Amino acid sequence: MADGTTMRRVREIVLSDPECRYVVVSAPGKRYSADSKVTDLLYETYREIKEGGHVGDSYQKVAERFRSIVHELGLSLDIEALLTRTAEEIEREGTEDFAASRGEYLTGIVMAELLQMPFIDAREVVKFGPDGRLDDTRTYALLRAALKGKKNAVVAGFYGEGADGKVKTFSRGGSDISGAIVARAAGAYLYENWTDVSGFLACDPHIVPRPAGIPSLSYKELRELSYMGANVLHSESIFPVRQADIPIRIKNTFRPEDEGTLILPISKYRYTGRTVTGIAGKKNFTVLYLEKSLMNTEIGFTYHVLGVFLKHGISFEHMPSGIDTMSFVIDTEVLKNGVLEQICEEIKEAVSPNKLSVINDVALIAVVGHGMSRNIGTSARLFRAIARAGVNVRMIDQGSSELNIIVGVDNENYERTVRAVYEEFFSDV
């Protein structure tokens, strides 16, 4: 959605498929590497208002982007009046979420004009509860009513309205969630998510050149891969469609002929024959390692440790444990500015461990696939491949579902480990 040319391409895609009913749009992204995303400019607009009371240069850049798009598309839309009104509303509303949401709002109006379809403002139909979570009951009732009788419509993504009556956004990339919500409300048989890549790849192409594509995967596999860094689709976007057993297809706006990736509910998923579906990971974790004799007999041990994390608002990624040991894997970013030292002291006071040590600069790598439970020796192959690469494994975590195996290695060995694992399981591709 970065410019008029891309929007024309979207129009061709939508109109070429008579079964395409409803379109959910995101804000314009980068046109080239040094460009700015419209949403980033709108966050900067909010900061300018906080400092000076009025929209400034950042909003003028946003306005110019939309002027250029409307001009390029040759639309009769009165873009100047719309931009002026939007600037006034951003200043009047005075919230960061409202400012950030205007990229999707403006794009939705432009796209509705281009497609000659009704526009639905997400503020009117997507509602959040007092706890900040999506209010399913109200949202689906309002959306169904808004869509009723409309063969087609354009809906703005990324935002809705909070319990306080003010605009509230999802986290970045939240238009994916909006699309899933509309698909469920409409009772769609398929949710297509059009982006700038041809679906999911078996691993990061920045680490392994031209990795294999993933033709299909399950919701569960998607959740694991997305959470661990495979950012093709927002990891939370599966929840609305999963409840209705609606498949998702990832397609490339710039290569619509490519197969893409089909994401299926378990009820419709069929084993592909591959042992491993994909590999994903992240760097920069910290591991807190606790050791205490007879830990398993001490009722409330884990409860007291988790109470320290709760007090500081810290969540952990994984919790590998042994009979007298327990480890917590935490994003290093949340432990800065003295937080790590503070929670270590509080854990010592709470449970008096025999040993508490900190392992820094750990990378996590998830090897994911339903096929792992069907193939004997998968773990042996994985760890042989890592050993051949000369990498020491600092941590191992495997769930009882046998859907994934997570290994922790030093940050400096992250790329080497991913390449070794990919070569082991995808050398035949």
Residues 162 and 31 in one domain: yes
Residues 147 and 47 in one domain: yes
Which pLDDT score, from 0 to 100, does residue 243 have?
84
Q: What average pLDDT does this structure show over 158-166?
A: 97
Q: What average pLDDT does this structure show over 19-24?
A: 96
Residues 14 and 143 in one domain: yes
Which pLDDT score, from 0 to 100, does residue 304 have?
95
Tell me how far CA of residue 122 lies from CA of 38, 106, 133, 139, 421, in angstroms.
18, 12, 15, 10, 43
Which pLDDT score, from 0 to 100, does residue 237 have?
82
Q: What average pLDDT does this structure show over 286-304?
A: 93
Which pLDDT score, from 0 to 100, does residue 188 have?
95
Residues 39 and 159 in one domain: yes
Residues 133 and 23 in one domain: yes
CATH number of the domain bearing residue 253: 3.40.1160.10
Instruction: Write down the mean pLDDT value for the chain.
Output: 93
Q: For residue 376, name the pLDDT band (cuts at 50, 70, 90).
A: confident
Taking only Cα atoms into account, the Rg of the chain, rounded to an integer number of angstroms, comes to: 24
Q: How many helices (H) and strands (E) does the chain have?
A: 14, 14
Which pLDDT score, from 0 to 100, does residue 111 have?
97
Query: pLDDT tens for residues 248-261?
Result: 999 999 999 999 99
Higher-scoring residue by pLDDT: 394, 226: 394
Query: pLDDT tens for residues 170-197?
Result: 988 889 999 999 999 999 999 999 988 8
Tell me how far CA of residue 217 lies from CA of 202, 248, 265, 422, in angstroms.
11, 10, 9, 17
Q: For residue 270, name the pLDDT band (cuts at 50, 70, 90).
A: confident
Residues 288 and 422 in one domain: yes
| 428 has a pLDDT exceeding 90 | no
**Continuous segment of H or E residues that includes residue 41:** helix 38-52
Last residue of a domain, one of 128, 153, 188: 188
Q: For residue 372, name the pLDDT band (cuts at 50, 70, 90).
A: confident
**Using an 8 Å Cβ cutoff, are 195 and 252 in contact?**
yes
Query: pLDDT tens for residues 57-74?
Result: 999 999 999 999 999 999
| 350 has a pLDDT exceeding 80 | yes
Which pLDDT score, from 0 to 100, does residue 400 have?
65
Domain count, the chain: 3
| 232 has a pLDDT exceeding 90 | no
Q: Which domain holds residue 45?
A: 4-188
Residues 221 and 352 in one domain: no
Which pLDDT score, from 0 to 100, does residue 424 have?
96
The DSSP call for residue 400 is: T
| 235 has a pLDDT exceeding 80 | no
Residues 129 and 156 in one domain: yes
The DSSP call for residue 127 is: B
Residues 117 and 199 in one domain: no
Tell me how far CA of residue 210 lies from CA of 60, 67, 207, 399, in angstroms.
39, 38, 9, 30
Strand partners for 23:
154
CA proximity to 389, closest of 362, 414, 407: 414
Name the pTM for this structure: 0.84
Q: For residue 366, name the pLDDT band (cuts at 50, 70, 90).
A: very high
Which pLDDT score, from 0 to 100, does residue 401 have?
67
